[in-house]
């Protein structure tokens, strides 16, 4: 069994205490959360949690089943990397006075990062993208000196089908 990141997209009732119920379940059963993002959805009765967990397939199955037992959990989908679009947002403050600022901004433009704030001794950048991209950028920024950094944790949605409904109908007729 390989240990891997698994993305769980968890639709929950939008009530107080739900996040506690989910996180308490993880700690009590000894599961590890790699990242967690919670946000409102298109329907204000529900929130969506995007939880990234580490573990083999058996563990993820058990986590999913235990999560499903929580009353406010409506639906859980596991999103495989290939079946999901995922993004993460990072804010990062880099040391950068007049001498290194141009190098930092150059890097920012390569990664399509935005400069949010500039001080005499530091620059704050914002970058969104695949988690790998954020990792890569973090590595490249390290030599300048990272003052502070925060990442949102990834959010993900299933990829859409490329097949148009029309085509499917034609196929059915010819089959």
Partner 1 sequence: MKLTGAQALIKSLEMEGVEVMFGLPGGAILPVYDPLIDSSIRHILVRHEQGAGHMAEGYAHATGRPGVAMVTSGPAATNIVTPIADAYMDSIPLVVITGQVPYAVIGTDAFQECDTVGITMPITKHNWLVTDAQDIPRIIREAFHVATTGRPGPVLVDFPKDIANQMMEWEWPEGVDLPGYKPNLKGHPKQIKDAAKLIGESHRPVIYAGGGILKARAAEALRELAEATGIPVVTTLMARGAFPDSHELALGMPGMHGNYTAITAMQKSDLLIALGARFDDRVTGKVDSFAPDAKIIHVDVDPAELGKVRRPDVPIVGDCKNVIERITVAVKADQAKHEWPDLSDWRATVKGWQVEHPLFYDQPEGGPLKPQFVIEKLRELAPDDTILASGVGQHQMWASQHWRFEHPYTWVNSGGLGTMGFSVPAAIGAKVGCPEKTVWAVDGDGCFQMTAQELVTAAAEKIPVKIAILNNAYLGMVRQWQELFYEERYSEVYLSPDLPDYVMWAEAMGCAGFRVETPEDVIPTIEKANAINDRPVVIDFRTDYREKVYPMVPAGASNSDVIIGPEADTRGGR
Question: Which residues of this chain interact with partner 1, rule CB under 8 A?
Answer: 12-13, 17, 20-21, 24-25, 28, 58, 61-62, 65-66, 68-74
Q: How far is the CB of 40 from partner 1 (least distance, A)?
A: 17
Enumerate the β-bridge partners of residue 128: 89
Contacts of 60 (CB under 8 A, 6+ apart): 6, 8, 53, 78
Beta carbon nearer to partner 1, 21 or 87: 21
Beta carbon nearer to partner 1, 67 or 141: 67
Enumerate the β-bridge partners of residue 39: 48
Beta carbon nearer to partner 1, 69 or 166: 69
Q: How far apart are CA 78 and CA 25, in angstroms?
A: 18
Beta carbon nearer to partner 1, 55 or 131: 55
Q: How far apart are CA 68 and CA 76, in angstroms?
A: 7
Beta carbon nearer to partner 1, 26 or 144: 26
Nearest to 154 by CA among 66, 39, 72, 57: 39
Nearest to 47 by CA among 9, 78, 20, 94: 9
Q: How far is the CB of 163 from partner 1 (least distance, A)?
A: 29
Q: How far is the CB of 75 from partner 1 (least distance, A)?
A: 8
Q: How far is the CB of 30 from partner 1 (least distance, A)?
A: 12
Q: How far is the CB of 115 from partner 1 (least distance, A)?
A: 41
């Amino acid at each position: 069994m390989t240990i891997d990141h698994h993305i769980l997209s968890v639709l929950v009732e939008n009530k107080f205490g739900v996040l506690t119920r989910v996180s308490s379940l993880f700690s009590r059963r000894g599961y590890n959360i790699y990242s967690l993002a919670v946000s409102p959805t298109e329907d204000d009765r529900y929130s969506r949690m995007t939880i990234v967990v580490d573990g083999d397939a058996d563990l993820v199955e058990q986590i999913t089943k235990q999560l499903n037992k929580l009353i406010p959990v409506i639906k859980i989908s596991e999103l495989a990397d290939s079946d999901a679009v995922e993004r993460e947002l990072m804010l990062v403050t880099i040391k950068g006075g007049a001498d290194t600022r141009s190098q930092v901004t150059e890097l920012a433009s390569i990664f399509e990062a935005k400069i949010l704030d500039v001080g005499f001794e530091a620059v704050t950048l914002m970058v969104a993208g695949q988690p790998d991209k954020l990792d890569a950028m973090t590595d490249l920024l390290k030599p300048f000196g990272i003052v502070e950094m925060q990442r949102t944790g990834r959010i993900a949605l299933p990829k859409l089908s490329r097949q148009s409904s029309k085509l499917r109908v034609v196929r059915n007729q010819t089959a």
